[in-house]
Amino acid sequence: MTAMNESANSGSSPKINLLGLPKRKMEQFFAELGEKPFRAAQVLKWIHQRGVVDFADMSDLSKALREKLAQVAEIRIPEVELEQKSRDGTMKWVLRLDSGNSVEMVYIPEAEKSKQDDDDGYIDPRRATYTDGLSRATLCVSSQVGCSLACTFCSTGRQGFNRNMSAAEIIAQLFMAEHILVAKSLPSDRKISNVVFMGMGEPLLNFEAVVDAAEIMMEDNAYGLSKRRVTVSTSGVVPAMARLQERIDVALAVSLHAPTDELRDVLVPLNQKYPLKELMAACDAYAPNAPAAFITYEYVMLAEVNDSDQHADDLIRLLRDRAAKVNLIPFNPFPESGYTRSNSARIDRFMRRLEAAGITTVPRRTRGDDIDAACGQLVGEVEDRARRGERLERMNLRPAS
């Protein structure tokens, strides 16, 4: 499928949105226009490095080419519906998409490098505390309108699922943070140093768009982020994990949340299709060639559900001798969740038990919970196209009891 046809099939606009084209597709686009491939690098720089959305302002392109681009292409970004700023410096924006649905993106200022961070300056995503005057920040982006996986502790999963986001809608979040929103609200030198696909949706169920967006993030002619600073999170879509490593070199985070199949079947229903044995085999295959040579395992701390000493010991057995880093995430409450957050003493005891077994463990600080921007709280506005049971049935899952 050509770049032009692909765009025409993905939305109502007859013009192709160049915002979502990685270099390889941008080169194909210009080839179809009868132009040289180097035009792709020029336009990528204008869009992503300079924030230019009007072809008339791209001064190193000929007037004829600029006029041709205006006829067949556009650079379209979502509308900002709501902006909120947390007391800890975290910022959340609700973006209105063409479909009438809304998604959320979160900007998280980071603190100075700590002893848990790697020697090359890598800062673990979404963990550091806010400090004025520093220029590092993580952007948490959404990849789907809602989520179909129905994890029981996640507000996004409770809301339902509408559709996949396009690559243009995904990369628009970074574009807006770099060129519009952050520049308007924060010091101009505060730029995005890390991007995590940990917002609304399961990234590996929107595979091609996520890969395209990640390519743009790491493209030298665009944002130039290193492979260690782009993290794709998954609840365990096992077949797509191998495909991801074949297609693009990014860090991987796995939403684990339970050390046994019995418990994970309830918390993460996808486990009924891809149980822990299959998931861990996929992680073992991914880890040796991962950018950081390890997998990050996300583990939400739910009081009297998955936070006992026995759960810690089960987790140790699961992860021992694996290239693993565990992020312990305090549960972020939402109405009628049915869960409560483990207290700090219990989280600390759990962490120390894992560390005593030689497993690198980091307690994640809750960020932006006062504006519902913390992990598991993103909801946007989604017209759910299928009830929870129907979504699980489409995945060949039995409803968790």
Mean pLDDT across the stretch 338-357? 95
Instruction: Give residue 158's pLDDT band: very low, low, confident or very high (50, 70, 90).
Output: confident
Q: Are strands 251-255 and 295-301 parallel, antiparallel or unpaired?
A: parallel
- What crossing angle do the helices spanning 344-356 and 309-319 adopt, rounded to 10°? 40
| Phi, psi of 222, deg, nearest 5 | -120, -105
Residue 166 to residues 99, 146, 267, Cα–Cα distance (Å): 12, 14, 28
More confident residue, 238 or 373: 238
Radius of gyration of the chain (CA): 21
Say whether 79-394 and 3-74 share the same fold: no
pLDDT digits (tens, 9 = 90+) for 297-339: 999 999 999 999 999 999 999 999 999 999 999 998 877 888 9
Residue 341: DSSP 8-state: B
What is the percent of the chain with per-residue pLDDT over 70, rounded to a whole number? 79
In this prediction, residue 343 carries a pLDDT of: 95
Residues written for the chain: 401
**Residues involved in catalysis:** 104, 375
In whole angstroms, give the CA distance from residue 196 to residue 322. Answer: 23
Model confidence at 9: pLDDT above 70: no
Q: Enter the pTM of the model.
A: 0.84
As assigned by CATH, the class of the 79-394 domain is: alpha beta
Q: What is the rounded distance in angstroms from the CA atom of residue 69 to the CA atom of residue 43? A: 11
Average pLDDT over residues 379-383: 47
Q: How far apart are CA 188 and CA 169, in angstroms?
A: 24
Average pLDDT on 264-274 reads 96
Ordered by start, the domain boundaries in the chain are: 3-74, 79-394
Asked: is 3-74 a CATH 1.10.150.530 domain? The reply is yes
CB 337 within 8 A of CB 305: no
Best CA proximity match to 181, nearest among 167, 169, 191 = 191
B/e letters for 289-308, b = 16+ CB within 10 Å, e = fewer, are ebbbebbbbbbbbbeebbbe
Per residue in 34-68, pLDDT (tens digit) is 999 999 999 999 999 999 999 999 999 999 999 99
- Contact between 268 and 149 under an 8 Å Cβ cutoff? The reply is yes
Contact 185, 154 (CB under 8 A): no
> pLDDT at position 394, please?
52
